[in-house]
Amino acid sequence: MSSLVVGELCFELRRSARRRTLEITVDRGGELILSAPIGAREARLRDFVCRKRMWVYRQLARKEALMRPIPHKGFVDGEGFLYLGRSYRLRLVAGSAKAAAPVRLERGRLLMPRPLAANGRTHLRRWYAERATPWLSKRVGDYADRMEVVPAGVHVQDLGYRWGSCGKGGRLYFHWKTILLPARIAEYVVVHEMAHLHEPHHTPAFWRRVARAMPDHEMRKTWLAEHGIDVEGL
């Protein structure tokens, strides 16, 4: 892994033989990534960064505003937890620490046996992942014909700062927190990763594929950039 420093900006430089264009990405943690073809000379890279400098500063300022401290949830009666964009109140109920269903959604409430509240985060994350897998698999199936892809599988796990990832062999990976997002935003994450089965990089061809499958993807993408951090508190 190499880097490129231009003024006070430091980029992780990622070269690829399949890439033909230059692209700057500001990831969710604020790190700068410069993607480039194998043979792109340093002078070309520096010129590109200089021309994009103001855009980079705007993106960094936006990330800084969004990276505000998010308080962690408490597993107490009345605490709200997101599920497909809607907040559900937690209700601690009588029950055993060995309950067969540590978390249940009933009548608009998330129910959890009181003895499990001490490890509530673990139980709720597992509950989210169990529901995310079939939900996301269904959306992948809905878009498969439209996007002309046949994914090898759908996997839900903790992906750190990424919402999704397209792995080797056509496998799609999604962060378990995707199920916290509103359905239309979670669908954007699905379409985004499915487009990577055709185009590994964020090239114009990649965005054309996304747009064909989801004409309003820009609105959903903007919402995710501005509000996605709201689900980070769990």
Query: Does residue 87 fall inside a structural domain?
Result: no
Q: Coil, strand or helix: which one is 162?
A: coil
User: pLDDT tens digits for 9-55?
Assistant: 899 999 998 898 999 988 867 789 999 999 899 999 999 999 988 88
Query: Is residue 157 within 8 Å of 136, Cβ to Cβ?
Result: no
219 and 123 within one domain = yes
User: pLDDT tens digits for 159-176?
Assistant: 887 899 998 888 999 999
What pLDDT sits at residue 225? 78
Residue 69 has pLDDT above 80, yes or no: no
Residue 66 has pLDDT above 70, yes or no: no
Query: Does residue 158 fall inside a structural domain?
Result: yes
Quick one: pLDDT band at residue 101, thresholds 50, 70, 90? Answer: confident
User: pLDDT tens digits for 181-227?
Assistant: 999 999 999 999 999 999 988 888 999 999 999 999 999 988 887 78
Quick one: pLDDT band at residue 232, thresholds 50, 70, 90? Answer: low
For the chain, how many structural domains are there in total?
2
CA distances from 32 to 21, 165, 197 (A): 17, 18, 24
| HSE-CB for 112 with a 13 A CA cutoff | 27
Query: Does residue 216 fall inside a structural domain?
Result: yes
Burial class (CB in 10 A: 0-12, 13-18, 19+), 72: exposed
* Domain final position from 26, 45, 66: 66
CA distance 42 to 2: 12
What pLDDT sits at residue 127? 96
140 and 38 within one domain = no
Phi, psi of 30 (to 5 degrees): 95, 0
Query: Does residue 181 fall inside a structural domain?
Result: yes
Query: Is residue 133 within 8 Å of 127, Cβ to Cβ?
Result: no
Residue count of the chain? 234
User: pLDDT tens digits for 111-161?
Assistant: 999 999 999 999 999 999 999 999 999 999 999 999 999 999 999 999 887
End-to-end Cα distance, the chain:
32
CA distance 156 to 176: 6
204 and 133 within one domain = yes
CA distance 110 to 10: 45
Domain at 141, CATH number: 3.30.2010.10
Residue given tokens 């700062």 in the structure block: 161
Query: Does residue 95 fall inside a structural domain?
Result: no
Quick one: pLDDT band at residue 68, thresholds 50, 70, 90? Answer: low
Q: Which residue range(s) make up the domain with 125?
A: 119-231
